Structure 1
């Protein structure tokens, strides 16, 4: 909060209104629950449950809780989407208070606004399509509150997954055909950033919620959870790569020099976000280099009690800390308005062949570092170690 106040004092930076900040944060929370929850279920929970043959009762518990978790994500998405649409109406209509923008009449007028000159489609039409898809996605997820729908969890989740992705991708479609290569890259990297971040945070939330069912699980559930944490660690590393690469591009687009991180409002807020993300990465590294190898060694040694303790007590505690950092990032995001380059009176970013070459080199270096991380974690898991008594 102190940093945000400092940012507000810098020349050329204006804090967003409370309703704008809250609706944007809420919208990203809605995307986090739906996109992150669905991809985590499809890529982590579902495959682990399908290969778990000796823990049928545990599978039933986790399937039920997964369905309820996804159903509540539909509720959050629906509510957050409505308030975000009202916020768009208020921003588009000068002088329209946010309270008035909440009314169906103002929303319908906004959605039916004609296309701008030179546009192939009206912006309101894109938002109409987006919110219809959002409504269908939320309805499919909320259907999982019913017992009959929970029996069809897999087809419902796999159907809702591309719809949830479409909710954010539709808004990335340009309304005009006159888009430069720089504009297209901005749209692509923005969507990579949003999807990678929501999957990363949403997966952490979902697995933490599922781990809270440990009182209803058997002592052998640690085997199942080791597989789930292992699968999610791969998903998380891919998300880290997406967040870092897209974040570097967007930071270069909006920050012209290192000094702008502390001399501009945008730079200060971005610096806070970077510190929070580094905290997330550090916690993930702790999981990868310490907890994952311990779980693997405990599984190989047949230490059932230690495995249960690590996978369902120790690991979730660390993950809840990551969730708190991730939510803090979502709170900060609405304050990233404008550009540090603009505040400093500098020129806009201009991509060059050298910039693209540097970006490719950084992407390759990041890929190599993540590969080395996975190999190092695997090597640590093969080292002999005494498994501590969980008591």
Structure 2
């Protein structure tokens, strides 16, 4: 493909301004911290800490670290939410400089703007409700800076969990009735993509932060961490399935041909994101097929030294790489704007029975492959070899 041809295809693509890149990336980092950390704490950390075999000392150390992490996640969410709202104001209507959009008066005017003709609710009202929930979520998490609140970290985390999910889900409330079925499905898949992605990345980041306490944990902490990694591996598998299915839908809506991945601006950004996500999946596969079986065998053999080494030395190193890839994905997301179909002059994608049948086949194939992955990992764990 000659440069002139590429330039012609990408003529309709507008590079996002720096403030847009920073605000959108920051917002998704904030969501990852709030949604990912609360979901992972509820589904992975809390059950493991409450297990009878977990020592009280180790549980208290990890509970305190979790509380501190959640508190800082609240700070990041609050700050990122403000800048994201300002970015919405800057892009509304005829647009305005981002610096002007930071003014509280401009934000107030945007949130109080009347509903458009034919809309059942003003778009500003939707964002007003969203940001009210965001402030409530951040306040609940920030409260964990107080020693008295940390004694109730379980209750606060479980309260913040549905609130943090609502922060992103509320934005999908349509101000006007969707014109067709695709109009209903697009926000569903979009939110499935966002929630599963933030749970995946935010959960990894939380566990890496907790692994930093290893020097203060007891000799038997390997057993606790084996349970933590096992539980999160199941969460990650669900997230991979949701990201994949929703990602295929969103890609089909905006990319009309494989060649558009390298002949359009939207496609190039999407291609980079896909490659980064494949790196995440590869790291997850390494965990599932190499580390988890060895952890399981060491656990069954009561090999405390190997278990501690695998769960708190090897595993966190791989997860650090996954976190770096995840942050890179968030950095690319602001560049995935517009549509490759529009840039290439293709017609708008419209769903049909054939599309839904293909989607169902994809979902079924993915479910079978993930089930086979879990079974293969279990089979590797049963092999009678010495743990690494």
TM-score interval, smaller chain: over 0.9
Q: Deviations over 1:246-299 (max 9, x none)?
A: 000000000001111111111111110100000000000000000000000011
Matched, 1:387 2:387: yes
Alignment correspondent of 1:26 = 26
Q: Deviations over 1:9-61 (max 9, x none)?
A: 93211101110111000000000000000000000000001114351100000
Shift of 1:7: 8.3
**Is the contact between residue 7 and residue 266 of structure 1 (CA under 8 Å) also seen in structure 2?**
no
Alignment correspondent of 2:371 = 371
Matched, 1:61 2:58: no
Query: What are the within-5 Å matches in structure 2 for residues 226-375 of structure 1?
Result: 226-375=226-375
Alignment correspondent of 1:48 = 48
Greater CA drift, 45-54 or 205-214: 45-54
Alignment correspondent of 1:107 = 107
**Is the contact between residue 8 and residue 15 of structure 1 (CA under 8 Å) also seen in structure 2?**
no
- Secondary structure in 1 matching 2:35: helix
Alignment correspondent of 1:172 = 172
Unaligned runs of 5+ in 2: 1-5
- Secondary structure in 2 matching 1:384: coil
Q: Deviations over 1:47-95 (max 9, x none)?
A: 0011143511000000000000000000000000000000000000424
Aligned equivalents of 2:7, 2:54: Cα separation in 1: 56
Matched, 1:124 2:130: no
Shift of 1:103: 0.8
**Is the contact between residue 178 and residue 184 of structure 2 (CA under 8 Å) also seen in structure 1?**
no
Shift of 1:333: 0.3
Alignment correspondent of 2:142 = 142
Unaligned runs of 5+ in 1: 1-5
Aligned equivalents of 2:65, 2:8: Cα separation in 1: 43
**Is the contact between residue 255 and residue 339 of structure 2 (CA under 8 Å) also seen in structure 1?**
yes
Aligned equivalents of 1:24, 1:7: Cα separation in 2: 26
Shift of 1:177: 1.9
Q: Extract structure 1 runs of 4+ deviating beyond 6 A.
A: 6-9
Change (3 A) 1:382 1:8: farther
Alignment correspondent of 1:83 = 83
Aligned equivalents of 1:303, 1:335: Cα separation in 2: 48
Shift of 1:244: 0.2
Alignment correspondent of 1:3 = none
Change (3 A) 1:293 1:326: same
Change (3 A) 1:387 1:178: closer
Aligned equivalents of 1:184, 1:31: Cα separation in 2: 23
- Secondary structure in 1 matching 2:50: helix
Alignment correspondent of 1:215 = 215
Shift of 1:227: 0.4
Shift of 1:386: 1.4
Aligned equivalents of 2:119, 2:35: Cα separation in 1: 30
- Secondary structure in 2 matching 1:347: coil
Aligned equivalents of 1:345, 1:138: Cα separation in 2: 43
Aligned equivalents of 1:180, 1:31: Cα separation in 2: 29
Shift of 1:206: 0.2
Aligned equivalents of 1:354, 1:179: Cα separation in 2: 20
TM-score between the two structures when normalised by the length of structure 1: 0.96
Q: Deviations over 1:293-335 (max 9, x none)?
A: 0000011111111111100111000000000000000000000
**Is the contact between residue 267 and residue 340 of structure 1 (CA under 8 Å) also seen in structure 2?**
yes
